[in-house]
Structure 1
Amino acid sequence: MAETQGTSANNAPSRTRRPSNSGRKGLRRRTLAILVSLGGIFLIVLAGAAWLGNKASEINSELTSATDLIPSLKEEISNDNADGAGATVDQIRAHTAAAKRAADDPVWTLGSTLPGIGTNLSAVSEVARSADDVATLGLAPLVKVYSTLDWETLLPSSSGTDLVPLKAASPSISAAAHAVRLSADRLSQIDTTKLLRQVAEPLSSARGQLQDITGTLDAAANASKIAPGMLGAETPRNYLLVIQNNAETRASGGIPGALAVLSLDKGSMTLGAQSSAADMGAMSPIVPLDPEQQQIYSGRMGKFMQDVNLTPDFPTAASTAQAMWERKTGQRVDGVISIDPVALGYILDATGPVTLRDPELVTLASGDLPTKLTGKNVVRTLLSDVYAQIEQPTLQDAYFAGVAQEIFAALSGGKGNAKGLLEGLTRGTAEGRVLVWSGQPAEQSVIGKYALSGSIAGPSVAPAQFGVYFNDGTGAKMDYHVKRTVQLVKECSQNGYEQTTVRVTSTNTAPADAATSLPAYVTGGGVFGVPAGSVQTNIVAYGPVQANVETAKVDGERASFAPYVHRNRPVGVVAVRLAPGQSKAIDFTFGKIVQHTEPLVVVTPTIQDVKNVILATKEASCSQ
């Protein structure tokens, strides 16, 4: 058959068909429409980017302006300028509200949904909203409460204190704390790894500041809840007041010197008859102790009032002291308050000098002991000079107690200023010189959250916290002459675990002839086996929970030590003896540390300023 003329469509050769004139015009129209649409979208994107840029600049400017006002607010509060503080808070709220409005802009909100840049815009919005919440729900009500309180009248006095305003303020303080805590929680949930550096860094800073504010507000809220009751707003309260004597160290500060019952009734404060630890005698049978602490510190903790604070755990020491007091006197106390002469000095800085009025004490002081005590001379007088001038221990205790009596009389009489007193007590608390324990579980559960409790475990203890505590082994008052430093050395990690050395350096600064130039009551006279002039100390080091205490060294040489465990924390104990002028360095190395947070250390408060005792953490050089 002859082939058919032509080919099928499938086999046809490829050819380009020229469009007609009308087809070309349609294509140009469609192309133009697409280009116009794309151009329009491009212009919209440009406008949106410019708009977002303007909004970002506005948010940044408003938040910066609000932040810049914070120092003024602090100064106004510090100067009791309630009107000025209120006006400043209004300005802060105006700036944070403007920042929040900018972040709520529809274009900004739409931009927050875009991939990539959206997470950054969303994070900025959260910061703006949190700032406004803090200003509106936190600062504003707090400043309003502050303006209604007369801080001078809130201090305990002989005439009593109106605690109603403080009780009335509690709900507002608690609500402010709650609002700020919610803001802090929201910011903490943002993943900063996906953010631009320009956003991540300010966000991290805001987080840190909010955490600090949250902690402070929570403390204020808790204090406003329990303080009225502890000050005797409903029923009178009695507390055992313990004045620790740092010249003979104990883990929480010093041997209990003067004892007295401090009574509070609707803010009215009186100090009852005083006693001393020696007057308490020996407890038989001993006050029951938990086995862990009895193994570390011996049964003396439950036998002698002088030794209740061989343990650094103040709730244990306080509850033991309460039991001893009740057994000896038949009087039940509601709690225990401890303070040392350094903190008494801080109080005297606020109240001004006090003068001894008791004729017997004036007679005791005749000579080189002062009858007028100030913040500058009280520590040396109570911890050193009294032993040089008064030979009999009972009279030394009487002088010590008499000074304490006059200081608390000045407090109860309303002497001094509230600001100075609060600053002094705050400093004393931060340094571990003021400790409080309540026998009422509900109150103690709140106190236990803070350093004021002197707890070695629980919510007041940081995850990577170390502790260095000193217990006198001389049986005398030589610790006035000992200078110490404590430093953490972050060693190289091993098998994924952190490792830290706690370095304690001690120096006996007593004169070379201390054995003869210092009174026997100060040196101990060798009665307990320590040569006169030398000082012996049991140094107790605590590591973080679940860690191990692995080695101990004295001046670089391995030394035997006693390892223990207390509340799941490793404990190492080394006894060190120093002759006059001698120094020794003791290293405790802790390993298997599971905490990866920054370590810190707390120490027994001595006559030294704590900032001169705790040195900056050092990092070992580790090869990769």
Structure 2
Amino acid sequence: MTAAAFLVTASVIWLGQRASTISSELNAAAGLIPQLNTEITSNKPLDAKTTADKIRSHTGAAREAAGDPLWTLASAIPVLGPNFSAVTEVARTADDVSTLGVTPLVSVFVSLNWDSLLPSGSGTNLEPIQKAAPTVVSAAYAVRSSAERLAAIDPSGLLPQVADPLERALTQIHAATGALDAAADASKIAPELLGVDGHRNYLLMIQNNAETRASGGIPGALAVLSFDRGSLTLGSQSSAGDIGVMSPIVALDPDQQQIYSGRVGKFMQDVNLTPDFPTAASTAQAMWERKTGQRVDGVISIDPVALGYILDATGPVTIRHPEFVALASAGLPTELTGKNVVQTLLSDVYAKIKRPADQDIYFAGVAKEIFAALSDGKGNSKGLIAGLSRGADEGRVLIWSGLPAEQSVIAKYALSGSIAGPSVAPAQFGAYFNDGTGAKMDYYVKRTVQLVKECAKDGYQQTTVRVTSINTAPADAATSLPAYVTGGGAFGVPAGTVQTNIVAYGPVQANMETANLDGQRTDFASHRHANRPVGVVAVRLAPGESKTVEFTFGKIVQHTEPNLAVTPTVQAVKDVILPTEIPACGQ
């Protein structure tokens, strides 16, 4: 063997060893990620720190192997060189994420006492969150920069053995980037939202899913939720009916007034006929302040299903006030849990308590007891955070801040309930429900919503939003259910029958083309909101009846995978949204 041949052979063997080291070290690091996640969610900070140190050791070894002089030299080889460069970048990125992202974040996790950070009646020390914010922001920036470097690599000329791991790394790091950006934003504004610099008042709306509105349900129960340096108190309580009629109405943008009428700005019960929660919240703020003269800094919305998630964390609450106990003696439970609160508030209360004013009193009593439990520090932080996060993911917990700087951050996330702006994906679809019965019959309506991707037409994508609804009320609902639940025909809808205005939104710049009702073309109202096409069809269902409405959107210019948002109802969201149906085109 000539010296040159020997040198080439030795180099190939050496590079192969380096490649094996890089691969084994990165795989070892990746294998520890689930363990780290478990230790964090199980609140084992010391174990998490040990695991993070191991991950950093593995990624450091991979980066060192990829920095070998011969490996660097191989990166300049024509054709094969980009593969070596790509592997180097993956190793470098993994080490940066470990060193600049995971390690400092785990250090923050170790230093925080999460139970002490939750709002309570005695106050919360928010200083640790403020101190942690720069670390979290720096970690998010480091991971985002690493993701941008990986994304800049052209995979077209890479070998499959390199391109496939690169794609997996990109997917994982993009997911981490989104989570870290959210954590960074939360660490910056959460202390202010919780009143670190002084008193904050929020209008609390409890949306009643038994009478649907686009963002959930009619905002029947109202209260003022106050935070002062982390202390939580529930102040004055009221109802939407107490607010009365706004004259003149609260000003609306013309698009929404055309779609949803001036009722949005006239009645507190109708502020959320629009699915755009910033509009609903700012309108509710204006109504509250006009009626009561009390300034509120923002609006928080929650529904009974999310209250159930809170009760899962706090444990049962007992209704103790004599007035509430007297109402409960009608047959309602005096102890509420995560399992019985939804049926109690959305069904039983109407069967057991006849007077609407007394129903409002019971609702207020339940809200008071639940937030008193939070104020007293009942439950555990892990369960409460998980419950509130689940509620936010399902659109059952919504927040709006009247301070533009804070709202600009909140608007990035689904928690804002916005139908326009950074929180809305380019290919976003929506199916929203507004009650047209004037009653509480939506407790009995079950729905499914599905996206159906159609074959491209004239070079543009088409997608259908398919909504199937069934009225599960008993056949004798007209007589067996209270008139307050059925509406008693007061608004032109026969007792026991449910009427719903189904509102479908397509993505920006698309067109609303056709609507079908049970397979037949039907008339629909066509509008635009924030440059998104909107279609509205009214559906009436007798007990046991089922109908399907299909809204077809065309001229869709987005090529990203579509997302679907729906009105949160009594049903679990996972049961409402069905998997996207994809046809076999061109076969």
Q: Normalising TM by the smaller chain, what interval?
A: over 0.9
Of the candidates 552, 557, 562, which is equivalent to residue 594 of structure 1? Answer: 557
Instruction: Give CA deviations for 1:571-597 in whole Å, capped at 9, x if unaligned.
Output: 000000000000000000000000011
Instruction: Give CA deviations for 1:119-140 in whole Å, capped at 9, x if unaligned.
Output: 1110000000000000000001
CA distance in 2, matches of 1:58, 1:233: 49
CA distance in 2, matches of 1:540, 1:527: 23
Post-superposition, which runs of at least 4 consecutive aligned residues in structure 1 deviate over 3 A?
Answer: none
Where does residue 324 of structure 1 map in the other structure?
A: 287
Of the candidates 522, 534, 550, which is equivalent to residue 513 of structure 2? Answer: 550
Where does residue 211 of structure 1 map in the other structure?
A: 174
1:494-513 aligned at under 5 Å gives the runs 494-513=457-476
Secondary structure in 1 aligned to 2:534? strand
Is 1:463 the counterpart of 2:422 in the alignment?
A: no
Aligned-pair CA distance for 1:44: 1.8
Amino acid of the residue matched to residue 576 of structure 2? V
Amino acid of the residue matched to residue 536 of structure 2? V
Where does residue 310 of structure 1 map in the other structure?
A: 273
Aligned-pair CA distance for 1:462: 0.8
1:525-544 aligned at under 5 Å gives the runs 525-544=488-507
CA distance in 1, matches of 2:511, 2:141: 38
- RMSD (Å) for aligned C-alpha atoms: 0.7
Instruction: Give CA deviations for 1:271-324 in whole Å, capped at 9, x if unaligned.
Output: 012100001000000000000000000000000000000000000000000000
Is 1:228 the counterpart of 2:191 in the alignment?
A: yes
Give unmatched runs, 5+ long, in structure 2.
none
State whether residues 196 and 228 of structure 2, in contact with CA within 8 Å, keep that contact through their aligned partners in structure 1: yes
Give unmatched runs, 5+ long, in structure 1.
1-35
Of the candidates 407, 412, 416, which is equivalent to residue 449 of structure 1? Answer: 412
Instruction: Give CA deviations for 1:314-372 in whole Å, capped at 9, x if unaligned.
Output: 00000000000000000110000000000000000000000001111111111321010
Amino acid of the residue matched to residue 386 of structure 1? V
Secondary structure in 2 aligned to 1:492? strand
1:6-45 aligned at under 5 Å gives the runs 39-45=2-8
Where does residue 408 of structure 1 map in the other structure?
A: 371
Where does residue 472 of structure 1 map in the other structure?
A: 435
Amino acid of the residue matched to residue 311 of structure 1? T
CA distance in 2, matches of 1:358, 1:93: 56
1:411-450 aligned at under 5 Å gives the runs 411-450=374-413
Where does residue 69 of structure 2 map in the other structure?
A: 106
Of the candidates 31, 34, 41, which is equivalent to residue 78 of structure 1? Answer: 41
CA distance in 1, matches of 2:11, 2:424: 50
Where does residue 259 of structure 1 map in the other structure?
A: 222
Structure of higher CA gyration radius: 1
Aligned-pair CA distance for 1:157: 0.4
Secondary structure in 1 aligned to 2:514? strand
CA distance in 1, matches of 2:159, 2:459: 30
Of the candidates 275, 299, 317, which is equivalent to residue 336 of structure 1? Answer: 299
Amino acid of the residue matched to residue 405 of structure 2? A
Is 1:133 the counterpart of 2:91 in the alignment?
A: no
Instruction: Give CA deviations for 1:489-530 in whole Å, capped at 9, x if unaligned.
Output: 000001221100100000000000000000000000000000
Where does residue 67 of structure 1 map in the other structure?
A: 30
Secondary structure in 2 aligned to 1:287? coil
Is 1:192 the counterpart of 2:171 in the alignment?
A: no
State whether residues 506 and 534 of structure 2, in contact with CA within 8 Å, keep that contact through their aligned partners in structure 1: yes
CA distance in 1, matches of 2:562, 2:54: 39
CA distance in 2, matches of 1:79, 1:450: 26
Instruction: Give CA deviations for 1:65-99 in whole Å, capped at 9, x if unaligned.
Output: 00111111111111211111111111101100000
Secondary structure in 1 aligned to 2:210? coil
Of the candidates 7, 11, 14, which is equivalent to residue 51 of structure 1? Answer: 14
Where does residue 393 of structure 1 map in the other structure?
A: 356
Amino acid of the residue matched to residue 342 of structure 1? V
State whether residues 330 and 353 of structure 2, in contact with CA within 8 Å, keep that contact through their aligned partners in structure 1: no
Amino acid of the residue matched to residue 207 of structure 2? Q
Of the candidates 556, 561, 573, which is equivalent to residue 610 of structure 1? Answer: 573
Percent sequence identity over aligned pairs? 72
What TM-score do the two structures reach when normalised by structure 1?
A: 0.94
Is 1:515 the counterpart of 2:472 in the alignment?
A: no
CA distance in 2, matches of 1:333, 1:366: 35
Where does residue 285 of structure 1 map in the other structure?
A: 248
State whether residues 140 and 180 of structure 2, in contact with CA within 8 Å, keep that contact through their aligned partners in structure 1: yes
Most deviating of 450-459 and 40-49: 40-49
CA distance in 2, matches of 1:563, 1:254: 23
Aligned-pair CA distance for 1:209: 0.6
Instruction: Give CA deviations for 1:211-236 in whole Å, capped at 9, x if unaligned.
Output: 11000000000000000011000011
Aligned-pair CA distance for 1:45: 1.8
CA distance in 1, matches of 2:281, 2:515: 31
Aligned-pair CA distance for 1:623: 2.8
Count how many residue pairs are aligned between Structure 1 and Structure 2.
587
Where does residue 384 of structure 1 map in the other structure?
A: 347
CA distance in 1, matches of 2:296, 2:491: 34
Aligned-pair CA distance for 1:201: 0.8
Secondary structure in 1 aligned to 2:448? strand
Amino acid of the residue matched to residue 479 of structure 2? T
Instruction: Give CA deviations for 1:127-164 in whole Å, capped at 9, x if unaligned.
Output: 00000000000001001011111100100001000000
Secondary structure in 2 aligned to 1:246? strand
Secondary structure in 2 aligned to 1:259? strand
What TM-score do the two structures reach when normalised by structure 2?
A: 0.99
